[in-house]
Structure 1
Amino acid sequence: MHADNSPGRLPDDQANLVVEVFRMLADATRVQVLWSLTDREMSVNELAEHVGKPAPSVSQHLAKLRMARLVRTRREGTTIFYSLENDHVRQLVMDAVFNAEHAGPGVPGHHRKAAGGLKAVGDRHSAST
């Protein structure tokens, strides 16, 4: 079920899947978790510390993100590491963050990076638009 590259109408089932992806992005904690994973894989405890939320809460968000196939897991001993499911998810998260930067005043951070200016939210990523 892949969208062709034409600007036509999406099949209803595909449109519904897209809505589910956006639902997963409609929560600040989940966005923080996904953003944290754009660089590297992390354990639940690392993510909890990074996003400033309790580990059980982060774990619940990760379960939803995993069911939506936005993150995947890898076990090492007793530790489970989470990473983004694929590069499409990484690009979606980065594009959402970069687009949101345009809503604020001034030059978006990802544009400052391209111009050699101040360190910005997107500085840790190679893709900038």
Structure 2
Amino acid sequence: MLKGGCHCGAVRYEISGEVAHHAICHCSDCRRSAGVAGVSWICFPAEGLRFDGEVRSYASSEGVERQFCPNCGTGLYYYNEGVLPGLVDIQSATLDDAGDHPPSAHIQMAEALPWEATAHELPRFDRYPGG
């Protein structure tokens, strides 16, 4: 059983079952909905999901329902019955112990931003630089 929730704490969830996949998606739909270069998704059988709190749904494309917290806007989980029938994808960065569950692949690289190929070469700072 894994647990997680949104940024403000208004929505909490638990997910159980066997992991179907865990990947970082680089498609434009995920990028635009989350405002990031890639979104990590950990996929489980949908019947294992339980949540407390109100979530809102957004149909980001045909057959796709993205669930998010209406208070803080945190994206939480995703249904795509056309591609992933019976499964739910959880945004794995929202897990309480997200660092314990590394993704195993990058997907939708055909849509990745071109600068992602060299992002690992950028300078790194433990905190905000110059602060």
Q: Which structure has the larger Rg over C-alpha atoms?
A: 1
TM-score (norm 2): 0.30
Q: Whose helix proportion is higher, 1 or 2?
A: 1
TM-score (norm 1): 0.30
